[in-house]
Structure 1
Amino acid sequence: MDDNLLILNAQVPGFQGLQQICIQKGVIHEIVPIQSAPQTDLPVLDVSGDWISLGGIDLQINGALGLAFPDLSVENCDKLEAICQYLWSQGVDGFLPTIVTTSIENIQRSLSTISQFLPSTLNPQDASQILGVHLEGPFLNFEKRGAHPANYLLPLTVEQIKRVLGDYASVVKVITLAPELDPTGTAIAYLRSLGIIVSLGHSQATATQAQQAFAQGATQVTHAFNAMPSLHHREPGLLGAAIADPNVHCGLIADGQHVSPLMLELVLKASQFHGIFLVSDALSPLGLPDGTYPWDTRQIDVQNGTARLLDKTLAGTTLPLLVGAQNLVKWGICGVEQAIALATTAPRRAIAQSESYLNQPAHLLRWHLHSTTGDLSWQRL
């Protein structure tokens, strides 16, 4: 795409009617309602009513191209660059490499590798940017550990947090934990003092315990519905408390396997789309064909984009982030504008990153809703 460009007849999430987008020196300079005959010396691109958006942000992705982020090391760091380029090709502008429960040694090796990689000069025109790390564990409830290995789970104390983070606290952006493991709330307070976003997940927390954790500073929920108590009319649980709290953001996996499409529709309508964002929760075989792959000391079987342990425990997906947005439209759960926002502006809001289009690099996606099939497709401009 030209560094200087005028895009005409664009629909933009959050804007009413057709817009014209002025891009100068590769930055979005202005978005205004379309004029009948704009006067400009800029090259013009008429998108004929297609949607234009920022790229996706994936706040929970466990690996890709055969590399799981807990296995990162100096020896395979070049694979991380390939992953950044692959995710860019999948419409993702930025992501949080997610390190699931493993040994402290593995966690710190991975954090060290990412900390050395972060100052790298990857071209933001063709590579997704690492925005920090998401630690999913090891402070999880044994009963809701899911595919996380039980032998590496740790008690939730400030001392254990310090052991896990070591010298790399500044690299960690989000940590998923079970708040009931620390009724005092000192762990959440400590993490917030480090600037780390606390997300609740893999938890048996009641609604009351979740509300206490939100009051202590937790602001997210990890893969809503999965690895937590179900919604119940007498005990709303962690998820019920989260949906009712306007300051809490919930990640959702929209692959049709982790959460029923009907339940996705229910939570989106209940929240009025506020505070919900999509994640991929993709595992290391993302970008590879179906088959059986190593996963820590175990194996996972990938079929049609769904990854399970060999005992059939659901482990994750191998579907890219934007497939979730496409699914929501295909299933008739929401309109194009809402689906796009759930994968682009909503996750930015969840990590307090600017969701404004203005003055951002023009790394834009063009979305087209096919009138005959109803399918939603996208391409990078």
Structure 2
Amino acid sequence: MDFSDPVDFVKKLIDETGPRLSGSYGEQKAGEIIYDEMGKFADSVDKEYYVSRPRGFLDFIWFTAFFYIIGSIFYFFGYPIISTALIILSLLIYIFQQNLLLEVIDIFFPRVKEFHVLGKIKPKNNEKNLVILSAHYDSAYEFPLLGRHRKKGILFLNLTVFVAIISLILSILRIFIKSNLIDPVEYTFLIAGTAMILYVSIFLRSKDAVPGANDDLAAVGAIMDAGRMLSKNRPENTEVWILAIAGEEHMRGSKRFIRNHIDELKKRNAIVFNLETPSGDYFLITTEEKMFLAKHSPEAVKILEEAAKSSNARYRVGPLQFLGSDGANFSKMGIRAVTMFGLSEMDDMPYYWHTMNDVPENLNREMVEKSRDIFLRAVEIIDKGK
């Protein structure tokens, strides 16, 4: 494959591989192509294999739904203590799997094998700094609820969690307070909560995989193009790693990479600039990712902000209210990191996120190339010690 520019790379790769679900043939083939392309400019390229259970990231919702529904049934039969315990279990599974990324029930899902592609570019002189430019090359399932309905879907999901929490509170009160007023209200919340959780479970994802041009193959093309440029015009004292991550859509991939490199990353005080969905109206330099309870490095944020400003980019700095990225895993493990998202002015979400319309024809070439320039500028800032 001839690499002419980031968007052209995305078009050719999707033509050859199609969608790239975690552990699929498409993902494996895409990884091989990326490996070959990195070999043309990086000083060394490695495939880092790992095993995970990707479906645990989304399909845990069926465990949450099961325990909530069983808990509701016990309440209707007059067992509020058992009901409370089961609803607590259902909410803990949600929190552990979705917010804390703890993989507590992943054992119930099938294993797959994936690999990251890591290309290293050496500096002209001493390796004083280590910068990682990262993006992911897997693609997601279609999201009927969140992808199509976007912020309305997010609102419905948050409302579902709220209803579940209220039903839990009422169930706990019923244990200690014998009142005829609690039961009718609790019945209403349990019925509503059951219906809403079932709706979320059914429509959270479909069986179809999306092309994933903007999320996140365009970002892979951007950082690889940055790598090509850096190999021709090398930093003085900064080693740069170009990291194409497999398995961001289940958030297990970057965790495995960090575990394998944690000692070196901390010893060398590495800094990670992670790129997501670059084809947008503006860039959001994220100070935190609230869904994953991760706060990013203020230093990394400041450097990327300076890079965006000097690149004449349209950008904002602030928290990511919903969604998440591999940057969260780096930050939670104590590595200096920040993620930059390309978002829509319309609703502050990525264009065509987790839908079948996330195709190369819908990419904004100027924004994809601008994201590359921002990351190149960030490397320059670090290399010059500004």
TM range (shorter): under 0.3
User: TM-score, length-normalised on structure 1?
Assistant: 0.26
Higher-strand-fraction structure: 1
Q: Specify which structure has the bigger relative contact order, considering alpha-carbon pairs within 8 angstroms and separated by 6 or more residues.
A: 2
Higher-helix-fraction structure: 2
Query: Which of 1 and 2 has greater Rg?
Result: 2
User: TM-score, length-normalised on structure 2?
Assistant: 0.26
